[in-house]
Structure 1
Amino acid sequence: QKPNIRFSDNMLKEEKLMTKESGKALEELMLEAEKEEGIILYAISGYRCYNTQNNLYKHRVKILGMEEADKYVAKAGHSEHQTGLAMDLTNREGLNKFLNDDFGKTTEGIWIRENAH
């Protein structure tokens, strides 16, 4: 199911999907962030089938090398994204970047760490 949240314009249709329960929880989390703190979050990647996950991993290895890619992208068959339970989030500044540790240091990243459970 596609949750009613802000998405990056660069997402595949399948990447906007999550399980119904996960999508509802994410809607509530993002609404809370905006209403209580003025924090605007964007979804950048949700469900991925095996082939999409495999292609993503191979692409990151090609660009970053295996050691660096392994820090940020799970191998196919080992990703929470394949279960429909995960959605990567970012702020406006992160919309056109690869995921990295820098987001965790932003106001939005800190809020997510303290409030997502």
Structure 2
Amino acid sequence: MTQLGTRPRRSRFAPEVLPDGRRRFSHEAVVARRVLLAGVLAAGVGGGVVVSRLSGDDAEVVPAAGAAAPAPEPAPSAAPVAVDGPSRTAADSPWVVVNKQHPLDPRDYAPPLAVVDGKEVAAVIAPDLRSLLQDARRDGVDLSVTSGYRSFQRQTSVHDSAVARDGLESAESVSARPGYSEHQTGLAVDFGGRTQPGCLLKNCFGQTPESEWLRAHAGRYGFLLRYPEGATATTGYDPEPWHWRWVGTDLVQRVAERGTATLEEFFGISGGAAYA
């Protein structure tokens, strides 16, 4: 018991409180704290004790020697979003989501085809694609279709060539495996233009008048920029300003209204760089 008229003895671990309210540890307090920490660490080596690294007024929690580090929290999985409309899994659906997690079913699916601007595309997109090209040219923008439908066999050749040229990891940031490619649906179109021929299938296409026109008008014809900047972790692919996907004007409007950048985000469907 503390006697009246005497001050309680201050713990040697406690800081001195200065007149301005700040706290200061004496040399004795610092040494004592370090001795305590060393003892706790020694005791915790065998038991995996979690301790605090003491430094001034900060405490950083660290695992003791021999303790297993906490497992990282798993990335949240995409939760499907209820949206009325066509199927997101049927290969012949205009809303089908095809990525590295969601292949086509069947893998060798082939759509009914039509020819637009000298390239095969799914017949369902032909009217809108023709209108888009005609209206762009009317506005003085000479867009061209550089790639449309690719068969399973053709996509196999494209993917194998990319791997042989760039290595597997680099190739798969831009080229899909057969059965996992939007081009196999016939709904995807790679556009080109004549103002900067050297930007064909390159990121600098995004700075051309053709790309500017597409960003301003392609939605009116049912086309959505499929691999935008900043979405690689979601789509699994590097940005491709030339790659547009036909989904129909209804879905383009819904995506814009919700403010999402990708089909994966809009529908709550998993994506990313890992193949299923």
Name the TM tier (shorter chain).
Answer: 0.7 to 0.9
Partner of 1:114: 216
The structure with the greater share of residues assigned to helix is: 1
CA distance in 1, matches of 2:126, 2:148: 10
Deviation of 1:66 after TM superposition, in Å, equals: 2.7
Q: How does 1:2-81 map to 2 (within 5 A)?
A: 2-3=115-116, 5=117, 7=118, 16-36=119-139, 38-81=140-183
Other structure's SS at 2:145 match? strand
Other structure's SS at 1:116 match? helix
CA distance in 1, matches of 2:179, 2:212: 29
CA distance in 1, matches of 2:170, 2:149: 22
The structure with the greater share of residues assigned to strand is: 2
Letter paired with 1:109:
S
CA distance in 1, matches of 2:174, 2:159: 9
8 Å CA contact 2:156–2:177 kept in 1: the answer is: yes
CA distance in 2, matches of 1:67, 1:27: 36
CA distance in 2, matches of 1:61, 1:86: 22
Deviation of 1:88 after TM superposition, in Å, equals: 1.0
Partner of 2:192: 90
Other structure's SS at 2:179 match? coil
Structure 2 residue ranges without an equivalent (≥5): 1-113, 220-276
TM-score norm. by structure 1 comes to 0.77
Relative to structure 1, the CA distance from residue 53 to residue 45 in structure 2 (aligned partners, 3 Å threshold; closer, same or farther) is: same
8 Å CA contact 1:72–1:100 kept in 2: the answer is: no
CA distance in 1, matches of 2:135, 2:218: 11
Other structure's SS at 1:2 match? strand
Other structure's SS at 1:90 match? strand
CA distance in 2, matches of 1:114, 1:71: 27
Deviation of 1:39 after TM superposition, in Å, equals: 0.5
CA distance in 1, matches of 2:193, 2:200: 12
Please identify runs of 4+ aligned residues in structure 1 that moved more than 6 A.
Answer: none
Partner of 2:261: none
1:3-46 CA-partner distances (Å, limit 9, x unpaired) = 2x3x4xxxxxxxx211222111111111111112x000111111
Relative to structure 1, the CA distance from residue 97 to residue 60 in structure 2 (aligned partners, 3 Å threshold; closer, same or farther) is: farther
CA RMSD of aligned residues (A): 1.9
Structure 1 residue ranges without an equivalent (≥5): 8-15
Deviation of 1:79 after TM superposition, in Å, equals: 1.0
Relative to structure 1, the CA distance from residue 51 to residue 98 in structure 2 (aligned partners, 3 Å threshold; closer, same or farther) is: farther
Relative to structure 1, the CA distance from residue 63 to residue 47 in structure 2 (aligned partners, 3 Å threshold; closer, same or farther) is: same
TM-score norm. by structure 2 comes to 0.35
